[in-house]
Chain A
């Protein structure tokens, strides 16, 4: 039983590590700051979630696990708020999102014809 739990915990920790590294690789490969935020999103959600899940199994049913759950909840609430503040400030500051070839990317209006300004 303990071996099984240890194995599961290691699998979660390694999975979390993989997604955190993915976020880092994305930061380097993606063309502009907007698309890099998506890479950071992978680190924040699946990376942090799996990693903390692995730590929770290591800690077992204890106070430490409760604190890890709190950490996860705080990450899930604060990171999108910070991302929104960053994106909003960038857009307000006139930073235009670009595509892979560094051309300004397209804007698609999906509000329907009636509500166009």
Chain B
């Protein structure tokens, strides 16, 4: 219920942001917004997708720290790939890596897989049964990932979410 309410608030904030109408004089726009938000939340609740995966609000606080770390990694990796693309000898060594995923839940595994793909130089090719297949543009990028820092950080992020969810219950 709390999750459905927070979904509704997020959706309505998005509606106000995109329409740019905040005052009560634009009652029609706001009214249509409220109507469609209620409809969407009702449908989402009936479809049973408003859970810890579909609307993971419990991760929000820890997510900000993770995002900052990930953005720094993305910038570093982008510059690395840029150097490889522009250097005349094209110093790439494409390699496939099979890694273990240490996150227990699917949400954590998906966050990990998406983080890998978001970082230039490594792309998730397949994710199943606790294993992940990664294509790396160069050995260094793959070895860096195999070092497991991102894996540990995502595991910590997900673990923090689980404890919060349980305390809410």
Most A Cβ at <10 Å: residue of B75, B96, B99, B133: B96
Number of interface residues of B (CB under 8 A): 40
Majority secondary structure, A binding face: helix
Q: Which of A30, A80, A109 contacts B118 (CB 8 A)?
A: A80
Q: Is B8 an interface residue (CB 8 A)?
A: no
Interface string of A81-113 (1 = CB under 8 A from B): 101100110110000011110000111111110
Q: Is A35 an interface residue (CB 8 A)?
A: yes
Q: Which of B14, B78, B124, B146 contacts A84 (CB 8 A)?
A: B124
Nearest chain B residue, comparing its CB with the CB of A64: B20
Q: Is B100 an interface residue (CB 8 A)?
A: yes
Query: A-B contact count, CB below 8 Å?
Result: 135
Q: Is A8 an interface residue (CB 8 A)?
A: no
Interface string of B1-34 (1 = CB under 8 A from A): 0000000000000100110100000000000000
Residues of chain A with a CB closer than 8 A to B142's CB: 108
Q: Contact: B85 with A97, CB < 8 Å?
A: no
Q: Contact: B98 with A30, CB < 8 Å?
A: no
Q: Is B40 an interface residue (CB 8 A)?
A: no
Q: Contact: A105 with B94, CB < 8 Å?
A: yes
Q: Contact: B117 with A84, CB < 8 Å?
A: yes
Task: Output the least CB separation between A54 and chain B (Å).
Answer: 15
Q: Contact: A38 with B18, CB < 8 Å?
A: no
Given known contacts A30-B85, A45-B78, A108-B142, is B125 in contact with A87 (CB within 8 Å)?
Answer: yes
Q: Contact: A115 with B100, CB < 8 Å?
A: yes
Task: Output the least CB separation between B1 and chain A (Å).
Answer: 26
Q: Contact: B99 with A34, CB < 8 Å?
A: no
Bound Cα distance A91, B123 (Å):
12
Closest 5 CB pairs of A and B: A80-B117, A41-B120, A46-B78, A26-B85, A107-B96
Q: Give B contacts to A, CB under 8 Å.
A: 14, 17-18, 20, 74-75, 78-79, 81-82, 85-86, 90, 92-100, 113-114, 117-126, 131, 133, 135, 137, 142, 146
